[in-house]
Every structure is written in structure tokens, then in C-alpha cells.
């Protein structure tokens, strides 16, 4: 497993191993898969890497977890072949993990500069300081040292202060959001979200039978004040989800005046606000006002993940909330996340010793350089075919076809040339963004990007439906 690390990421190799493991049984009984620790020992990788590979399979609906029992899956013979059905998201996921594919659909900012080495080095040092105890007590909401570090990072004033007991850490972002949906009793409730919106969030809300209303981000990056006001007055909206700073996948920033007016509107209506903070550290110019700086912290819940900044060795998700403490603690206890205390301590040290901030300076510069290269190529080669939003951060570019095209057929045509894109329809439950694509400017391997964009241009012309 360690040999090919420079050209292939460990979680991808684990993913392929697990898919092969799933396909081995000949009967139709459910298959119990090895535990995280068993696989980590067998494949000589970290538990977090195994957890991430399992989470990918869980997102694809091929693996499910049972509390205090483990992971289970049905053999491939009893389900549709991956990527062969009508589920576009599954097709994207599966093809993105095939060897030799140019994945222009990914959202993996840390791919350019992962913090794997410093993190694992710290972990080894901590293992010497904190030898494993056979009966060590687990902290079901996350390691105290890491929760304390996060609380300190989010504290900006005596009014907007956070404490370790306000922080909850789970195995991945998906698991944390599932708990939040349960705690807030969102089944059947109305939730307003920015659109485009991350497909993981949309799928979770859809699976929980939440009534989702999508509020399209405007051309200037802001939200339509009048439309939101009308929604809040006409519907019993339980929750409004906003981006902390960067809206992704657009990579756009809302004007400050728009943020202030939206924040005042939400405060007048007493709305609960869920802030997506996954990308606020990845703006090319890091100084800027976050939504949470304008919102009542007593009506605010924030969520994020370490993965976007640190990489796949830190897949944990977390949320901050001053309220709902009893219910959140109970649900995290029942979920029984398997989290490495030493890995969490190592992440906490990266924050407390300033290593994260040094890393972010380098990562932002690399992301900006890649963005410039990508947008120049798009302008030169596809300027007559695509319009793109100039991203202000992150690892993706949001583009719109200037011709009326069948984007699904564009996607399928590119797959034949081993190129994966993300059609815009994935970022909406209501049919928005059908003429859009999300492209990535960070990818692994040695690929000819100019040639790939040429293939994209050919596919757009061939699938035009004007």
C-alpha cells in the first residue's frame, strides 16, 4: 500500500481493495466487512484512511454501518454494477476512482499540499508520550484537546466566544450532518439553502425527507433579499443554510452590504442559521467578514471539516453550537464514532503551534496559481463556448455553456476519453444549473490539461441542442 503513494492516494487503493472484497462472496447474504483497525493493520495505512474509503462507499450506497457492529455490504452481484445505472452521482464517484482518469470534477483543495507528513510525524511523537491504554475512556464528542483548539480558533470577542463543550467532532462530515438533521427534527420541515449546493448536503436532506427550497446565488455572489424575505414570511422555515464566506462550487463572495441585510433579515425572523464553514480558510485573500460575524451566535450552528485544508488523513467533520447540548451529546454517544484520540491530538497540535496557518499561506498561493492557469486556458480555448465565474478561492471553477447543450451527454462523451466532469444538475434538487459544470483545477497525475479542455470543447459542440 505504501509503494504507489506518490502516484496514487492511499484511500483510493483502499477503496479499490474494498470493492473487490465486496464482489468476492457468491451468495446473496449481506457481507460483514473487516473493522477499521483490522484493515488498517492488514493494509499498513491509518485508520482515518480506512474510514475515508468506507465513507466513499457509504455515499455510493454500497456500504452501510451498524452501531457497535461494523460495516456491511451486499455483493456486487446483487446490485447494479457501479456506474451502470441512471444515478449520475454514483457514475461520477465510480469513474473518478478508476485508474488513469483525469478527474476534472473533484473538490480536493489539499491535494496540492496535503499535511500528511507533519500530521503523521506528530502522531508518532504523541504515541510515545501517550501510550495506548487498554481501558482508556473514549470522548464521544471528540478529543478535548482538539475541541478546545477549535473553540479558541472560532472565538473572536467576548460576545462571539466558544468553548470546548460547544464543539462536536465526528468521523466525517456526512455523519455529523446526519446527527444534526436528527437533533433538529428536520424530517418534513422546510429548509432554505443556497444554490448551487454541495451534493452531499442535498442528498442527506433529500434522504431525510426535508422540504428543501433552493435560493439561487445571484451573479454578484449575493442572495436575493426580497425573495428570502417573501419565503420567511410565507413559509414556516425551520432553518436557513448560508456559506460562511465562499460559496462553493462557485467560489464567489457575497457583497458585504448583501450579507448585512440578509443577516438583519434572519435576526428579525428569529431563524436558526446553519453556516457552512468548509471553505472559509481557502479564500485567496483570507481577510474578510464571515456570516457568523453578523449573526446572533445563540441562533447559529456551524459545520466544517478538516479534510479540505489538511487532506484525506483528517476526514473528521465537526460542528459548533451553543444550544441543543443534551441532545447533541446523546446523539453523538449513540452514533459511537470510532475516532483515533492520537490523530485528533495531532490535529490539535497543528492548530496550536501555528503549523496550520503556515500551511494555509502556501496552499492558498498554490490554489491561486492553479486557478490562474486554468482560467487562462479556458479563456483561450473555450472562450466562445463557456462562461465562468472568476473564483475567489477553493479548488473549483463554476462554468456555464453558452450554447444549449445536453450536459449529461457531454459527461458521457468525455468518460469515453477518460475525463470526468461534474454536471451542474448534481448541485440542485430542483433542476437548476442544467447548463453548468463544476471543473477542478487540482488533480493528481501527469495529464495534458489543454488536450482535455479541447475534448470538452468538442463534446459541447457535438451535443449542442440549438
What distance in Å separates the CA atoms of residue 284 and residue 207, rounded to the nearest whole number? Answer: 34
- Give the model's pLDDT for residue 7: 34
What's the pLDDT tens digit per position in 236-275? Answer: 999 999 999 999 999 999 999 999 999 999 999 988 999 9
Q: Enumerate residue ranges in the chain where pLDDT < 50.
A: 1-8, 25-26, 28, 75-84, 134-135
Task: State the Cα–Cα distance between residues 213 and 74, nearest whole angstrom.
Answer: 34
pLDDT given at position 387:
96
* 282: DSSP letter: G
Q: Is the Cβ–Cβ distance between 335 and 43 less than 8 Å?
A: no
Query: Is-contact 190 237, C-beta < 8 A?
Result: yes
pTM (two decimals)? 0.84
What are the structural domains, with CATH classification, of the chain?
3-79 (1.10.10.10), 120-353 (3.40.640.10), 357-462 (3.90.1150.10)
Q: What are phi and psi of 296, to 5 degrees?
A: -70, 115
DSSP 90-117: HHHHHHHTSTT-EE-S---GGGGS--HH
Residue 90: what pLDDT?
Answer: 86
Q: Which residues touch 73 (CB under 8 Å, ≥6 apart)?
A: 22, 30, 31, 33, 57, 62, 63, 64
Query: How many Å apart are CA 224 and CA 221, to the nearest integer?
Result: 10
438 forms beta bridges with 398, 422
For every residue of 312-358, DSSP letters joined together read TT---EEEEESS-HHHHHHHHHHHT----HHHHHHHHHHHHTTHHHH
Predicted local confidence at residue 66, as pLDDT:
74
Radius of gyration of the chain (CA): 22
Helices (H), 161-255: 173-183, 199-207, 225-234
Please give the helix or strand (H or E) that residue 129 lies within, else none: helix 116-129
Candidates 439, 445, 449, 443; CA nearest to 380 is: 449
pLDDT at 15: 80
pLDDT of residue 26: 46
Q: pLDDT, tens digit, for every residue of 301-322?
A: 999 999 999 998 898 999 999 9
Amino acid at each position: 500500500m505504501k509503494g504507489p503513494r506518490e502516484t496514487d492516494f492511499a484511500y483510493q487503493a483502499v477503496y479499490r481493495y474494498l470493492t473487490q472484497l465486496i464482489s468476492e462472496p457468491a451468495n446473496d447474504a449481506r457481507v460483514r466487512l473487516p473493522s477499521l483497525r483490522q484493515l488498517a493493520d492488514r493494509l499498513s495505512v491509518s485508520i482515518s484512511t480506512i474510514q475515508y474509503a468506507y465513507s466513499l462507499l457509504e455515499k455510493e450506497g454500497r456500504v452501510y454501518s451498524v452501531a457497535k457492529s461494523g460495516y456491511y455490504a451486499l455483493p456486487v452481484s446483487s446490485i447494479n454494477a457501479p456506474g451502470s445505472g441512471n444515478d449520475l452521482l454514483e457514475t461520477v464517484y465510480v469513474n473518478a476512482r478508476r485508474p488513469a482518469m483525469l478527474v476534472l470534477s473533484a473538490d480536493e483543495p489539499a491535494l496540492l499540499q496535503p499535511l500528511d507528513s507533519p500530521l503523521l510525524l506528530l502522531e508518532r511523537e504523541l504515541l510515545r508520550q501517550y501510550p495506548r491504554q487498554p481501558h482508556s475512556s473514549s470522548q464521544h464528542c471528540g478529543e478535548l484537546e482538539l475541541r478546545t483548539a477549535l473553540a479558541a480558533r472560532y472565538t473572536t470577542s467576548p460576545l462571539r466566544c466558544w468553548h470546548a463543550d460547544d464543539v462536536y467532532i465526528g468521523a466525517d462530515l456526512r455523519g455529523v450532518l446526519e446527527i444534526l438533521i436528527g437533533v433538529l427534527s428536520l424530517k418534513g420541515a422546510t429548509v432554505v439553502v443556497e444554490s448551487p449546493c454541495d451534493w452531499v448536503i442535498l442528498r442527506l436532506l433529500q434522504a431525510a425527507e426535508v422540504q428543501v427550497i433552493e435560493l439561487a446565488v445571484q451573479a454578484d455572489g449575493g442572495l436575493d433579499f426580497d425573495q428570502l424575505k417573501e419565503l420567511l414570511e410565507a413559509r414556516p422555515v425551520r432553518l436557513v443554510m448560508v456559506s460562511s464566506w465562499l460559496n462553493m462550487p462557485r467560489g464567489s463572495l457575497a457583497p458585504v452590504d448583501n450579507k448585512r441585510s440578509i443577516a438583519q433579515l434572519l435576526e428579525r425572523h428569529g431563524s436558526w442559521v446553519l453556516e457552512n464553514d468548509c471553505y472559509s480558510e481557502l479564500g485567496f485573500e483570507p481577510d474578510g467578514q464571515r456570516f457568523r460575524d453578523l449573526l446572533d451566535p445563540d441562533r447559529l450552528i456551524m459545520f466544517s471539516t478538516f479534510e479540505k485544508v489538511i487532506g484525506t488523513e483528517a476526514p473528521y467533520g465537526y460542528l459548533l453550537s451553543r444550544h441543543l447540548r443534551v441532545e447533541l451529546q446523546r446523539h453523538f454517544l449513540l452514533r459511537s464514532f470510532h475516532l483515533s484520540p492520537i490523530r485528533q491530538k495531532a490535529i490539535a497540535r497543528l492548530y496550536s503551534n501555528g503549523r496550520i496557518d503556515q500551511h494555509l499561506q502556501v496552499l492558498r498561493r498554490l490554489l491561486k496559481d492553479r486557478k490562474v492557469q486554468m482560467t487562462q486556458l479556458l479563456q483561450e480555448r473555450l472562450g466562445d463556448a463557456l462562461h465562468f465565474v472568476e473564483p475567489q478561492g477553493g479548488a473549483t471553477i463554476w462554468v456555464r455553456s453558452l450554447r444549449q447543450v445536453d450536459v449529461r451527454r457531454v459527461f458521457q462523451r468525455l468518460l469515453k476519453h477518460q475525463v470526468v466532469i461534474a454536471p451542474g444538475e448534481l448541485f440542485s434538487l430542483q433542476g437548476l444549473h442544467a447548463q453548468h459544470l463544476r471543473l477542478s483545477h487540482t488533480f493528481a497525475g501527469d495529464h495534458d490539461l489543454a488536450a482535455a479542455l479541447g475534448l470538452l470543447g468538442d463534446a459541447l459542440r457535438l451535443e449542442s441542442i440549438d
